[in-house]
Amino acid sequence: MELKSTSLGKHLAQHPYNRVRLLTAGVEVSGEKHEYLIPFNQLLAIRCKRGLVWGELEFALPDEKVVRLHGTEWQETQRFYHYLSQAWQRWSEEMSIVAAGVLDDQVATLSAAGAQDRWLKRSDVAGWRTTLQNAFASLPLPPERLNEFDNCRKAYQTCLRWLDNSDEQREQHNARWTERMLIEYADFFRGIETSPLNPSQARAVVNGENALLVLAGAGSGKTSVLVARAGWLMLRKQAAAEQILLLAFGRQAAEEMNDRLRERLNSESIQASTFHALALKIIQQGSNKSPAISKLESDTALRHQLLIDAWRAQCDGKKTQANGWRQWLQDELAWTLEEERYWQDDRLAKKLAGRLERWLGLMRMHGGTQAEMIASAPESCRDLFARRVKLMAPLMKVWKAALKEEGAVDFSGLIHQAVNILDKGRFISPWKHILVDEFQDISPQRAALLAALRRQNKQTALFAVGDDWQAIYRFSGAEMTLTTAFHHHFGEGDRAVLDTTYRFNERIGEIASQFIQRNPHQLKKPLNSLSKGSKKAISLLPEAQLEALLNKISGYATPEERILILGRYHYLRPELLNKAKTRWPKLTIDFMTIHASKGQQADYVILLGLQAGKEGFPAAARESVMEEALLPQPEDFPDAEERRLAYVALTRARQQVWLLFDKDNPSSFVGEFRQMGVPVLRKP
């Protein structure tokens, strides 16, 4: 059956189409030069319209496309439209039965997935979304028409909710499931640690995303969460003990974690490891070799002597090298050198040894060739960096020769070798879950090891616990953006926040949080305290009042209460501490640098050295081009890392903090604390 435009209608309409023909399951619209085939499975609507003289048929297609036929005799148009509509509707009803079967299968699958007794991951939902899209593409009817049919409508709406609002559906499921877990396993969360886990801790423990960042503020119980996470995975049979890998940054931290694991989980099978111990295990099992760790890594004096001897030999051997080092030390570090054979100056050598150690360590951590290092440096400093690298090259050669002679490897070499073995498939990771402590301290090299492990098994979950507010180790290669841009580096996932601190009071928390969040690059998070604290829980005090302050504290502090005196540098240790044991025999007083105090806590904290200037706090930047080229780029905010260092100092205290400042030359931080309402005392 077909419909044609009248001769006059065809002439006046001047339209490309003047004929339509009904096919078995579609229509063919054609003209003198054009032909368009419209299958019923692409047809959304047919409209019949009457103009002033002639009829018009309109065929609506996906993407708002419309095909029109003009200039047909009106009664003929009506008759053709009637037959066409009947044929299209008969075909549509038959196809709706097929479509309903497909949709019902999808609804059943979604219902089963939603009823699962587990956390729904983003990756799960992404898979279902793809399945739904494929199902819609396989339907004999356009999805836009499914609401027209009673047998399709409900199932289609259900599928559409998951397709269009899958994240909302997933979040609703996970919220319901989490609350059920917290009730059903209340005994576990009450007893896994000496104190019951709070709701934010428990929610972090049960979160099942493949990449989860747990932001754990100071004193918020991150170790409890790591121990509970390991226990939860085994309790729910998500992993056996040997499939869980816990990583810490230092040997002492790993040993403390192991003590907690043994005590709380009653298991010897699950062990915390350092990154270096992990790398050693991978090398041993992946290459059937058992490399020894070089004595140079554990003996600072030996390490410094090797580097200074190599440096002196270099300067002795070539005048151009000696001149190059002179220029470096004078121009970049502003050091004063002797006129002749300056490299024989023992005081200078002692001062330089630590710098050489750091620069060589950064080069070893990079792991690339000289050319690769130079190519990766920022263009603004690349030429100068290339000259410095060439001066360091003989020291690198001596270092490698010493390792070879000893038949050993250094720490950087361990991790590079382990990544290489993993990428070659010579070691297959047995771990389904990797739990990392102090994640804010991670370096790109250690992150590469994690990435290599997860490439072995795409389903390996990463549970990272850290606090970007306490990221204070950039100088040793730590990159804060690995935490602040966690999901960019480690894949889609979730973020949990431990929102309660068990250490300091509300007043200390208020000032410390306000101070650190002045830097917009720090992640925003709440941190609530259990006790209020007085306004004087944190106060400013002139540095000359230290002895008077200790006298006053001695009147009320008990021997069990700890007093921690913190300084930016070792040399700030007050001389009066030499007589502390006899002057204040009932006080427990320790001095530490702020860096060393990380992980420590005390009842009372006294922070020294809040003065401006070269040796002040915040410390002036003292980086050479080596740090500029090889360390992660710092964020664009003044004294960002020094601010985090001050935050660490403040949050060591349980009860009270005194900030001792130079009255004549106060630190810029002093003005900020005053603006925030920290009282300035004349005396304790």
Give per-residue pLDDT as tens, 224-270. 999 999 999 999 999 999 999 999 999 999 999 999 999 999 888 89
Backbone dihedral angles phi then psi of residue 448, each to the nearest 5 degrees: -65, -35
Cβ-based neighbour number of residue 415 at 10 Å: 27
- What percent of the chain is modeled with pLDDT above 70? 99
Contact 604, 656 (CB under 8 A): yes
Instruction: Please state, rounded to an integer, the average pLDDT across all residues of the chain.
Output: 94
Cis status of the peptide bond prior to 618, with omega within 30 of 0: yes
Cβ-based neighbour number of residue 179 at 10 Å: 13
- For the cut 70, the answer to whether the pLDDT of residue 505 exceeds it is yes
- For the cut 90, the answer to whether the pLDDT of residue 32 exceeds it is no
* Helix, strand or coil, per DSSP, at residue 151: helix
Cα 388 from chain centroid? 33
Whole-angstrom distance, CA of residue 244 vs CA of residue 431: 6
Per-residue CA distances from 208 to 205, 231, 449 (Å): 8, 14, 22
pLDDT at 13 (0 to 100): 59
Give residues with Cβ within 8 angstroms of 343, minimum separation 6: 311, 312, 315, 316, 322, 325, 349
Whole-angstrom distance, CA of residue 225 vs CA of residue 205: 6
The model's confidence at residue 12, banded by pLDDT at 50, 70 and 90, is low
Domain 1-184 has CATH 3.40.630.10: no
The residue with tokens 């003289």 is: 53
The model's confidence at residue 52, banded by pLDDT at 50, 70 and 90, is confident
Residues 358-376 have a mean pLDDT of 92
Query: Could you report the per-residue pLDDT of 390-414, keeping only the tens digit for each?
Result: 999 999 999 999 999 999 999 999 9
Domain boundaries, the chain: 1-184, 186-291+429-501, 295-406, 534-675
Per-residue CA distances from 68 to 10, 39, 414 (Å): 13, 15, 72
Is the pLDDT higher at 308 or at 291?
308
Residues 12-27 have a mean pLDDT of 84
pLDDT at 9 (0 to 100): 63
Q: How far apart are the first and last CA of the chain?
A: 103
The CATH number for 186-291+429-501, chosen from 3.40.50.620, 3.40.50.300, 3.50.50.60, 3.40.640.10, is 3.40.50.300
Residues 570-578 have a mean pLDDT of 95
Residues 188-202 have a mean pLDDT of 96
* Dihedral sign computed on CA atoms, order 467, 470, 472, 476: negative
pLDDT at 14 (0 to 100): 66
Residues 467-484 have a mean pLDDT of 94
Cβ-based neighbour number of residue 7 at 10 Å: 10
pLDDT at 418 (0 to 100): 95
Whole-angstrom distance, CA of residue 676 vs CA of residue 663: 18
Whole-angstrom distance, CA of residue 298 vs CA of residue 559: 35
Token code pair at residue 456: 């072995």
pLDDT at 1 (0 to 100): 86
Contact 540, 679 (CB under 8 A): yes
- For the cut 70, the answer to whether the pLDDT of residue 651 exceeds it is yes
Whole-angstrom distance, CA of residue 490 vs CA of residue 377: 24
Q: Where are any strands of DSSP class E within 518-625?
A: 528-529, 538-542, 562-567, 588-593, 602-610
Supply the pTM of this predicted model: 0.88
- Give the CATH H-level superfamily of domain 534-675: P-loop containing nucleotide triphosphate hydrolases (3.40.50.300)
186-291+429-501 and 534-675, same CATH topology: yes
The model's confidence at residue 54, banded by pLDDT at 50, 70 and 90, is confident
- For the cut 90, the answer to whether the pLDDT of residue 120 exceeds it is yes
Token code pair at residue 258: 């192991």
State the pairing for strand pair 55-61/45-50.
antiparallel
Token code pair at residue 235: 């309790």
Query: Could you report the per-residue pLDDT of 584-612, keeping only the tens digit for each?
Result: 999 999 999 999 999 999 999 999 999 99
Residue 552: left (phi > 0), alpha (psi -120 to 50), or beta? Answer: alpha
- Please name the amino acid found at residue 79: R
- What percent of the chain is modeled with pLDDT above 90? 84
Contact 145, 99 (CB under 8 A): no
pLDDT at 11 (0 to 100): 62
Contact 645, 667 (CB under 8 A): no
